[in-house]
Amino acid sequence: MKRRFLTLSMAFALIILGDAEMVNAQKSKLYTAANKKVTVYVTAKGTDDRMKQMGTLTFTSNPQPVETEVAIFVDPSKTFQTMLGIGGALTDASAETFYKLPKDKQKELLTAYFDKNKGIGYTLGRTSIQSSDFSSESYSYVKNNDVSLKSFDVSHDKKYRIPFIKEVTAAAGGKLTLFVSPWSPPGWMKTNGDVLHGGKLLPKYDQQWANFYVKFIQTYEKLGMPIWGLSVQNEPMATQTWESCLYTAEEERDFIKNFLGPTLYKAGMAGKKLIAWDHNRDLMYQRASTILEDPASAKYVWGIGFHWYETWTGAGMNFENARLVAKVFPDKKLIFTEGCVEKFDFNRLNDWALGERYGLSMINDFNAGTVGWTDWNILLDEKGGPNHVGNFCFAPIHADTRNGSLIYTNSYYYMGHFSKFIRPGAKRIVSSASRDKLLTTAYINPDGKLAVVVMNKTDENIDYSLWIKGKAAKTTSPAHSIETLVVE
């Protein structure tokens, strides 16, 4: 009787413990670093090392590290969000620049970005609905005052952008998670009569503008480009010299629940992922709470998109706001929808700060709960464009159209330390540094391999141990470097 009572008690305890804890407990028992090897890939300042394989490490027993050791503690039994993908924007500027390159360089670029074996394996893409600042000109898909949208035509995109997206998709293995964003409705739909300089959508055109998104998605999909999702408006709090349109949080909420959401559903597009905000981290909690606390709008919203340009004020990146949104609204996703280094200068193409900005943001964004990370233009020319308002910026790869060459900045390699080794479907796991001089995040991939990213922004080499469940592998993080440690 006593033995049976204990068995029943244990059964009840397991029920109380809950499914999630049981799974974690089982994983904890199953995962061991014994007999596993660690392959280290490094990109480091002052060297030629660019995602260079540096050999393998082995684990030895180390049950209790001491405080004088530097360690990265990884716990594969504790999992968080699932990786959607990592990638960049397929803009008019990128497409136009791509077709100015010789054929061999076009092939090289596609391989460099989208081949998961020979390149860095991008799987996520973004493109614009109509023109953006990174177009050679402003344009619309409809004629002025065409309320019925009968003149809707994407012929402009067929010259560069659509062929480019198709080549990218083929290079990515035939599948690309592509989402789309508008920079502005046509000028005649707006309060200022202009696609540029902010202004707002006129209420009398709310339904026509909602119909416009559906038209765009249907047209692109008929042309062979599946659309995974869409954002409501790029940077809805910024009056820009380029294409822009303003929404307060309440206005975006009401447009979603009264027009865009219902219109998507009526068109059979309930499965498209709708992204709200699509602007900087500074106001993202205020925007998210306004939209998501209203069940009528929240039901249409898949997640909150954000950018990193809150730094324009001189402040740093506000990762805490992203963490708060993830914590308060756990049923919604976070996705980084745009980031680039602004104020292009050809003489800065080798500046190590370019890559370190990407590494800092990506590690902190993923640790805050972000499921996808999208760079801005994947390719720009030697001037940081083309851009029809002179807003020239950096990209991870630049084409020098004067001689047909490609210039790889270190931001390409910094992004690659994530996108190549952390694949869609990977689960983020605990990765904790014992010193704040090292930044880290880690994932367990669908194939069971661990990918641990370690970044060192300091001027010193730092010896540390990768510690997993009583086993440790010793290595060194070079000054101003990023490493990916693959455990298998």
Catalytic residues: 235, 338
Angle 385-386-391 from CA coordinates, rounded to 5° = 60
Residue 350 burial class via C-beta count within 10 angstroms: exposed 0-12, middle 13-18, buried 19 and up: exposed
Residue 288 burial class via C-beta count within 10 angstroms: exposed 0-12, middle 13-18, buried 19 and up: buried
CA dist 413 and 408 (Å) reads 8
CA dist 28 and 32 (Å) reads 8
475, 58 contact by CB (below 8 A): no
CA dist 134 and 391 (Å) reads 8
453, 418 contact by CB (below 8 A): yes
Kindly give the pairing relationship between strand 177-182 and strand 124-129. parallel
CA dist 48 and 350 (Å) reads 12
CA dist 353 and 356 (Å) reads 5
- Kind and range of the H or E run holding 163: helix 161-171
CA torsion, ordered 108, 110, 111, 113, to nearest 10 deg: 120
Angle 171-174-179 from CA coordinates, rounded to 5° = 95
CA-CA distances (angstroms) from residue 278 to 43, 234, 247, 442?
31, 5, 12, 26
CA dist 456 and 410 (Å) reads 14
Q: Which amino acid is at 170?
A: A
